[in-house]
Structure 1
C-alpha cells in the first residue's frame, strides 16, 4: 500500500509520469496475480469466478485510490463539518471529477490488461449458456452440443484437443478485442478532456506551468513544515512533563486559520492567488494596525469557478 500511495502522489503531481508508473505497477501486479493465484475451477462456478477476478480487483483498486487521495477527505470533511459554503456545488463536482480521474487509472489498467491476457474472460464465458458462446462451440464441433463447455479451460475433457483450442482461441480473441477497445476509448476520452481543459483555461500556458510548479513545491514544503513544528511542540510538551517545569510558549495557528488553508481552493480572477495558503497569507489581518492587507495583484475581471485545467492546485497539497 505504501508503494501505491507513493505512485498515487506522483500521479497527482506529475500527471503523465505518475499515471504511467501507476499503470505499469497495476499491469505487473495483474500478471503476477494471474499466473500465481488464478485457477479456473472448470465447473458451474466458472462465470462467477471469472467475473470476480476480472472486476473485483479493479473495484478494490478504485476504493484504494479514493482512500489514498487526500483531496477525497478534504472534500468530505468540508461537507460533513458544514463548510460546503466555502465552495460552490460546481467546484465540488469539478473536484470530485478530478478525484475520479486519478482513482480510475488503476482499475481501468487492471481490466484492460486482464482482457488482453484472456484467462479471466475464457473462464467467465465458458461458464455461460448464452447463444453466441454455444453457437461458437457447436460450430467448432460439427453441430454437436457442448455439454462440457465449462471444462474447456482445463484439460481432461472428452472433446478433441484441436476443437477445444479453437474455442479458447476464439474467446481469447474476443477478450483482446474488448481490451484494446477499452484502452482506445480511455485514451481518446483523456485526449478530448485535456483539449477541452486547455481551451477553457483562463491563464496562459507558461503561467500554468509556474502554477503547477508552485503547487508541487508548496505541497512538499507544508509536509516538512508540519512535521517539523509538530515535533517541536511534542518535544516541548514532553520536556515540560518529565522535568515538571513551565512550558515555553509556542505560537500555533488557530482552528479558523487551519480551516482557511484547508478548504478547497476556488480559482478566481479577482485575486491572483495560487492556493488557499497563498490567499490566506495575502489577505490576513495585520495585528499592528488592524487593517486587512489586500492581495498584491488584483484583477478587474469577474470570478470564475475552478477550471478543470487547474486540477493540480488541490492535489495532495495539504495534510488531512
Structure 2
C-alpha cells in the first residue's frame, strides 16, 4: 500500500509539473479519436450545424470542466453569497480583486478548449463538413470558381465523395483540399496568436515580479509542501475528532475536550491572497500564523495589501480541494 501511495504521489507531482500541457496532449488524442470513430458528416443541409457542433461544443465542455477543476473557482465562490465581505457583499472594494481572479481562471480554463479548436482545424475534418454546408452564395461561388456549375448545388455531398456525371472524384478532391487548406491556415494562425499572447503575458508577469527568480521557485516549493502537510494534518485531525465522537457515542460518556479551528479561522485561511511588500507572507496560512495577537481579528485587509502581481497568481491556484478541506 505504501508503494502504491508513493507511485500515486509521484504521479501527482508529475501532473503538477506537466500541468495543462498534459491535458492539451490528451485533447489531441481525444480529437483524433472523435474524428475517426464518432464523426460522420451527414452530407446534407445539416453539414454546417453538425460540423460546428463537433468543432465548438467539445471546446465549450472543456471550458466548463476547466472552471470545475480550478481551485480559484471554488476559493472565489465558496460562501461568497453569504459572507458580508464576499465578492458580492457590502465591501465593494473586493470586487476588482474578484473580477481579476475570475479573469485569470477564465484564461486558465481556455487552454484546453483552444487546443481542441486548433487541433480540429489542423485536422480539417469538422471544418470541411461544416463549410460544405455553409449557406453563403459568396463562399460557395469562391470555392467552386473554375469548376462545373453543379459544384455549388452539390457542395454539401462532397465529404461523402458522391459524384455526378460532371463532378468527377478529382474535382471533389480539389474542392475538399481547398477547404481543408483554409482550416489548416486558420489553425496555425490561432496557434501562433495563442503562443505569442502566452509569451507576452509570461514576460510581462515576470518583469513585474516583486521577488527574484530563486525566491519565486522557493515560493512554489513552499506552497506544495504546505498543501501536502495541510492534507496530512487535516486527515489526522479529522480522524482524531471522529474517533472521539464515535467513542463518546458508543460508550455513553461525555466527550473529552477537543479543539478544532473555528469557522472564522477556516474562512481567514481560505481568503484570496493579497500581496504586502511590508510583509513576507507566502500564503494566507502563513499570514494568519504571523498575525500573532491579531489572529482573532480579520486579516482580510491590512494596510499596504494590494492584489498580487501576476507572477504570484499561482498562490490562489493551489488545489486546496486535495488538501482535505
Give yes or no for TM over 0.5.
yes
Residue from 140, 143, 154 that aligns with 1:134: 140
Gaps of 5+ in 1: 1-5, 295-300
* Residue 307 (str. 1) matches residue 309 (str. 2): yes
Question: How many residues are treated as equivalent by the alignment?
Answer: 301
- RMSD over equivalenced CA pairs, Å: 2.6
* Residue 187 (str. 1) matches residue 195 (str. 2): yes
Q: Deviation digits for residues 196-237 of structure 1, max 9, x if unmatched? A: 111111111111111111112212222222222222222222
Residue equivalent to 2:127: 121
CA distance in 2, matches of 1:34, 1:249: 61
Asked if 1 retains the 8 angstrom alpha-carbon contact of 2:55 and 2:126, the reply is yes
Q: Alpha-carbon deviation of 1:137?
A: 4.1
Asked if 2 retains the 8 angstrom alpha-carbon contact of 1:233 and 1:250, the reply is yes
Is 159-168 or 212-221 further displaced after alignment?
212-221
Residue equivalent to 1:103: 109
Structure with more relative contact order (C-alpha pairs < 8 Å, separation 6 or more): 1
Residue equivalent to 1:146: 152
Question: Structure 1 199/137 Cα, relative in aligned 2: closer, same or farther at 3 Å?
Answer: closer
CA distance in 1, matches of 2:21, 2:41: 30
Question: Structure 1 286/307 Cα, relative in aligned 2: closer, same or farther at 3 Å?
Answer: closer
Question: Structure 1 148/142 Cα, relative in aligned 2: closer, same or farther at 3 Å?
Answer: closer
Q: Alpha-carbon deviation of 1:315?
A: 1.2
Gaps of 5+ in 2: 1-8
Residue equivalent to 1:206: 214
Question: Structure 1 286/143 Cα, relative in aligned 2: closer, same or farther at 3 Å?
Answer: closer
Question: Structure 1 19/93 Cα, relative in aligned 2: closer, same or farther at 3 Å?
Answer: same
Q: Deviation digits for residues 129-169 of structure 1, max 9, x if unmatched? A: 32453124432524445211111111333221111111111
Q: Alpha-carbon deviation of 1:304?
A: 3.2
Question: Structure 1 132/229 Cα, relative in aligned 2: closer, same or farther at 3 Å?
Answer: farther
Q: Deviation digits for residues 46-91 of structure 1, max 9, x if unmatched? A: 1111111100110000001101112101111253233334973332
Q: Alpha-carbon deviation of 1:286?
A: 8.6
Q: Deviation digits for residues 89-125 of structure 1, max 9, x if unmatched? A: 3322332222122211110111011111100001100
Residue from 255, 264, 268 that aligns with 1:260: 268
Asked if 2 retains the 8 angstrom alpha-carbon contact of 1:215 and 1:312, the reply is no
Structure 1 segment 19-98 matched on structure 2, within 5 A? 19-82=20-83, 83-84=85-86, 85=91, 88-98=94-104
Question: Structure 1 38/237 Cα, relative in aligned 2: closer, same or farther at 3 Å?
Answer: same
CA distance in 2, matches of 1:131, 1:11: 51
CA distance in 1, matches of 2:13, 2:172: 45
Is 152-161 or 41-50 further displaced after alignment?
152-161
Q: Alpha-carbon deviation of 1:38?
A: 0.8
Q: Deviation digits for residues 277-308 of structure 1, max 9, x if unmatched? A: 00111113399xx9x9x9xxxxxx95432111
Q: Alpha-carbon deviation of 1:12?
A: 9.3
Q: How does the TM-score come out when normalised to structure 2?
A: 0.85
**Which of structure 1's runs of 4+ aligned residues deviate more than 3 A?**
9-14, 85-90, 142-145, 301-304
